[in-house]
Amino acid sequence: MDIKRGFVATVGNTPLIRLNRLSEATGCEILGKAEFMNPGGSVKDRAALYMIQDAEERDLLQPGGTVVEGTAGNTGIGLAHICNAKGYKCLIIIPDTQSQEKIDLLRTLGAEVRTVPAVPYKDPNNYVKLSGRIAAELPNAVWANQFDNLANRRAHYETTGPEIWQQTDGKVDAWVAATGTGGTYAGVALFLKERNPTIQCVVADPMGSALYSYVKTGEIKLEGSSITEGIGNSRITANMVGVPTDDAIQVDDPTCVHVLYQLLYDEGLFMGGSVGINVAAALTLAKEMGPGHRIVTVLCDGGSRYQSRLYNQDWMAAKGLLPDILRR
Ligand code: PMP
């Protein structure tokens, strides 16, 4: 018998998928950790589960209590599923720049959703800071605080990293991933480097994010912007502190979109925007390292969360981002 005890028992243990065409084209083996196959549909299910379990262990969350979080959507979706399964309420603060699909799904799941204007982190009304204040004022509530809560990266140190190690028999040459909170990148990088310090750990970064300049020069520089959601940051979060990083690769939107449609047409994978950044960076790394290397990245979430944007021709045309390989 193989029976999972509810939603939480089905988080993690995702397949590692060989991207066949892209591997053949580069002579490297490009592998994607299929996090879109988590029960809540994204990589953030793992962090959501660890943060709730951590709050329970610390007696911060009582039955009927509320989990509050500021999120680009996926963490909120993971939290909302787990709150339903465990008997908690869920209150989500989300910037109004995020896709309608994610906001609609959060409401369908029964979370209370407050959309707020997207303002920089230094503004006291930034969605992350707002969520912390709301949690502090609400009785029997806990703030998940994914950006600076180390239970987030611990989820990946204890599950995603070991799964990748086991699935590859420890034969990994490089790990590359974009960061939002940094939990996924950091947890896996910490685990892999401990097992084998020669594994290259590389941050992928969209335009407009500080990680690339920070890794390259130690300075925070914010230039440009990106249509991707859930990744990029203007600061170094607690989850990213002390994480071994060999290099960073910056990916622009046209390159990201081209790769997303290659994944769709050539690999049969319908993916969210951050996956375009991750796989584009993996392809750059494959060129830099040369044939014969095994490069692992993350397939963070699926494309249906962005149907009205990345996969809507009018929306993409208005952004000047219609891909050259579009099949009409
Ligand atoms: N991709 C997507 C679509 C996301 O929602 C997120 C999380 N916001 C990430 C990637 C980055 O994950 P992490 O927070 O672990 O850095």
Per-10-residue mean pLDDT, the chain, length 328: 97 98 98 98 98 98 97 97 98 96 98 97 96 97 98 99 98 98 99 98 98 97 96 97 98 98 98 98 98 98 98 97 90
Instruction: Say if ligand 1 is within 6 A of residue 301 CB.
Output: yes
Q: Cα dist. 180→152, 177, 307 in Å?
A: 11, 10, 21
Q: Which helix (H) or strand (E) holds 54?
A: helix 44-57
For residue 183, the model assigns a pLDDT of 98
- Asked whether 46 lines ligand 1 (CB < 6 A), one says no
Q: Tally Cβ neighbours within 10 Å of residue 54.
A: 19
**The CATH number of 7-37+159-321 is which of 3.40.50.1100, 3.30.390.30, 3.40.50.620, 1.10.287.1080?**
3.40.50.1100
Q: How far is CA 207 from CA 22, 95, 302, in A?
A: 23, 19, 21
Cβ 38 under 6 angstroms from ligand 1: no
Sign of CA dihedral 120, 248, 47, 295: positive
* Whole-number Å distance between alpha carbons of 258 and 133: 40
Residues near 324 by Cβ (< 8 Å), separated by ≥ 6?
Answer: 258
CATH fold group of domain 43-143: Rossmann fold (3.40.50)
Helix (H/G/I), strand (E/B), else coil: 9: helix
How is the chain split among helix, strand and coil, in percent rounded to 5? 45, 15, 40
Query: Would you please indicate which residues are annotated as catalytic (active-site) residues?
Result: 44
Amino acid of residue 32: G
Cα–ligand 1 centroid distance for 303 (angstroms): 14
- CA of 23 relative to ligand 1 center, distance in Å: 24
Q: How many CB atoms lie within 10 A of CB 121?
A: 12
Residue 182: the pLDDT is: 98
Q: CATH 3.40.50.1100 spans which residues of the chain? A: 7-37+159-321, 43-143
Q: Establish whether residue 230 lines the binding site of ligand 1, counting it when its CB lies within 6 angstroms of any ligand atom.
A: yes
Instruction: Look at residue 185 in the predicted model and tell me its pLDDT.
Output: 99
182 lines ligand 1 (CB under 6 A): yes
From 11, 38, 42, mutation site for ligand 1 pocket: most ligand atoms within 8 A of C-beta: 42
Residue 202, beta-bridge partner list: 176, 247
**H or E segment at 49?**
helix 44-57
**Whole-number Å distance between alpha carbons of 23 and 178:** 20
pTM of the model: 0.98
159 CB near ligand 1 (under 6 Å): no
For residue 279, which of 204, 198, 184 has the smallest C-alpha distance?
Answer: 204
Ligand 1 center–CA 2 separation, angstroms: 30
Which tokens is 250 given? 């910056």
Cα-to-centroid distance, 17 and ligand 1 (Å): 19
ipTM over 0.90: yes
| Helical (H) or strand (E) element with 29 | strand 29-33
Instruction: Indicate the top mutation candidate among 99, 158, 181 to test ligand 1's pocket, ranked by most ligand atoms within 8 A of CB.
Output: 181
Q: How far apart are CA 124 and CA 133, in angstroms?
A: 10
